[in-house]
Every structure is written in structure tokens, then in C-alpha cells.
């Protein structure tokens, strides 16, 4: 499963993975909090050179389909708000 690399803000970078099949009927979301010291532009969490100490935390949750749909709706709303804000500048 491909992870989404989020490395835009140094002190809030990490990875997000979304999948299914861990628990029947649920969507699995896993997030890794990565140290600001890690250079994610030149490495990836799946690379053999990625240092374990770069991982500061890991959270994995299971969402029902209803909860996942709510998350998608909230993400779309947030995207729309940011796009609107960007168009004003």
C-alpha cells in the first residue's frame, strides 16, 4: 500500500496510509509522526536507509464506512476553504 508523504511543515511531517481488509467492514488509517530532522525529500519510510529513530509516533485506527464518509466530507470542505482562501491572494 502506498503511503502519502506529508513533508510541507517540518515540525508536522509524516506519512498517512489508508487501506481496507485489516478488519472486515472497516477502513484502516495509519499515520506516522516523523522527526523534523528527517529529510523526507531524499528518503522514504520504506527505504532501507530510513532510520527507525525518525519515527516519533504511530497511530492506527479503524473507521466504519459512515465515519470514513464523514472524514471525506470534512476533507472536501477543508480543501474548498483553502482553495477559496488561495484564490483571494
What digits encode the pLDDT tens for the residues 6-61? 999 989 999 999 999 999 999 999 999 999 999 888 888 888 889 999 999 999 99
Instruction: Specify the pTM.
Output: 0.84
**Residue partners of 51: CB distance under 8 A and separation at least 6:** 38
Domain boundaries, the chain: 4-64
- CA-derived radius of gyration, the chain: 15
pLDDT for the residue numbered 54: 94
The DSSP code for 71 is H
pLDDT for the residue numbered 88: 79
Categorise residue 21: left if φ over 0, alpha if ψ from -120 to 50, beta otherwise.
left
pLDDT at 89 over 70: no
Amino acid at each position: 500500500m502506498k503511503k502519502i508523504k506529508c513533508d510541507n511543515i517540518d515540525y508536522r511531517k509524516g506519512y498517512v496510509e489508508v487501506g481496507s481488509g485489516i478488519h472486515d467492514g472497516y477502513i484502516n488509517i495509519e499515520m506516522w509522526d516523523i522527526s523534523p530532522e528527517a529529510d523526507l525529500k531524499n528518503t522514504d519510510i520504506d527505504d532501507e536507509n530510513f532510520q527507525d529513530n525518525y519515527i516519533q509516533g504511530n497511530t492506527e485506527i479503524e473507521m466504519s464506512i459512515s465515519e470514513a464518509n464523514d472524514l471525506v466530507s470534512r476533507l472536501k470542505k477543508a480543501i474548498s476553504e483553502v482553495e477559496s482562501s488561495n484564490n483571494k491572494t
